[in-house]
Amino acid sequence: MQSIMCSSWRCGWRFSINLPSVLRVRPASINASSTNIDHVLHVPVMAEDVLHGLNPQPGQTFIDMTFGAGGITRSILEASPDTTVFTLDRDPLAHSLSCDMAQKYPGRVVSMLGKFSELPGLLKERNKSQNSIDGIIFDLGCSSMQLDYAERGFSLSKDGPLDMRMDGSRFPEQPTAADVLAHIDEEDLFRIIRIYGEEKRARKIARAVTECRYTFRNLRRTFELKELVAAACENENRMDKLQRSAHSATKTFQALRIFVNNELNELNYALILSHMYLKVGGKIATLTFHSLEDRIVKRHFVGNVIENSMDPLPLQYSNHSIVHDKKFVDNIIDSKWKLVNKHVIVPSDEEVQQNPRSRSAKLRVAVKLK
């Protein structure tokens, strides 16, 4: 049985997970056996459309940049014999699931633990060179495993430490969401919430957080932040795209998560890397879940990449370096992608009803032309 340890000295919790214990925190209605764990931990969004876009052929090699629970990798492995999938995920739990899958599909799954920006080193260790990959997949955002497990600190509906690091404790120096909130100044926090959360009440929320530091204590728990934001927004009623009520802290949580994980810089760099590793004629499929991600993807596919366009925010509160390398950026500006579909592909009404997480998904598929 695969077992992993996730711990954080920063927020005072330490826990050890093996897969059955993860399943114990799943809703009671989910009754997984150890043979189909990866099916129930995360329901892949638009898996058939992704597969149709990539059209895997026997002998081809893919990279699943966001393995999660492996739904999309599995569909590629099942669709065509003899395909190989290099899987990447920064989350140690996802990586452990990929190692499990590698045992079920001997010789066809190569599991890699790391961020997008670590890809070149990981592929080099595995003797994989540039221009050698047939297809690359991005299914962005958080997995249900991350959202559903309160200790990870992503969830608005379960109280937990304000962590939000997708990497778990891989980088002990990486600030958690609580660390950011404890140290950031009001103006910078305002910009993060405004830009990464597209939150109209960002000013009020940033003020409430910084005032709370002086009058109360640092925010350490997700529910503390959720309640503070709700109060700053005067408990305003909001609706999501399905006209269901949405909590007023949803966008603030999104903003912090993006910042803590440096998500947009990672994505921008990953698209540059994808171009480098795909063969001419190779395909890329991207599933985005909010307009910030989608804008970056669109810019790449129409050849409009601006150096450092993604770092308007105060990186001094994170331990992330700016991952852009001028050499790579110059490379991509010249490169060409061709979109396979004229219009973006969205999930069917039926899929949205069955899996509300898919409601904001946008799929784009492009071919590397040169």
- Chain residues binding ligand SAM by CB under 6 A are 42, 44, 66, 68-72, 88-91, 94, 115-116, 139, 141, 143, 166, 266
| Residue 111 C-beta: closest distance to ligand SAM, Å | 12
- Asked if 310 and 268 touch (Cβ cutoff 8 Å), the reply is yes
| Residue 181 C-beta: closest distance to ligand SAM, Å | 21
Among 325, 319, 199, residue whose Cα is nearest residue 260? 319
Nearest-angstrom CA–CA distance, 232 and 252: 12
Of 44 and 197, CB closest to ligand SAM: 44
Of 116 and 196, CB closest to ligand SAM: 116
Of 15 and 216, CB closest to ligand SAM: 15
Question: Which pairing describes strands 133-139 and 84-89: parallel, antiparallel, or unpaired?
Answer: unpaired
| Residue 117 C-beta: closest distance to ligand SAM, Å | 7
Of 134 and 293, CB closest to ligand SAM: 293
Count CB neighbours of 323 within 10 A.
20
| Residue 131 C-beta: closest distance to ligand SAM, Å | 22
240 is written with which tokens? 């999501």
Nearest-angstrom CA–CA distance, 122 and 88: 9
Task: Give the residue nearest to ligand SAM (CB).
Answer: 68
| Residue 228 C-beta: closest distance to ligand SAM, Å | 27
Nearest-angstrom CA–CA distance, 231 and 215: 15
CA distances from 315 to 118, 120, 223, 323 (A): 19, 23, 26, 11
Of 192 and 233, CB closest to ligand SAM: 192
- H/E stretch holding 287 reads strand 278-288
| Residue 259 C-beta: closest distance to ligand SAM, Å | 13
| Residue 20 C-beta: closest distance to ligand SAM, Å | 19
CA distances from 215 to 210, 219, 225, 227 (A): 9, 12, 15, 16
Of 8 and 66, CB closest to ligand SAM: 66
Of 220 and 357, CB closest to ligand SAM: 357
39 is written with which tokens? 């099916």
| Residue 38 C-beta: closest distance to ligand SAM, Å | 7
Output b/e per residue, 5-26; b: 16+ Cβ within 10 A: ebebebbeeeeebebeebbeeb
Question: Which pairing describes strands 84-89 and 61-64: parallel, antiparallel, or unpaired?
Answer: parallel
- H/E stretch holding 92 reads helix 92-104
Of 69 and 150, CB closest to ligand SAM: 69
Nearest-angstrom CA–CA distance, 245 and 242: 9
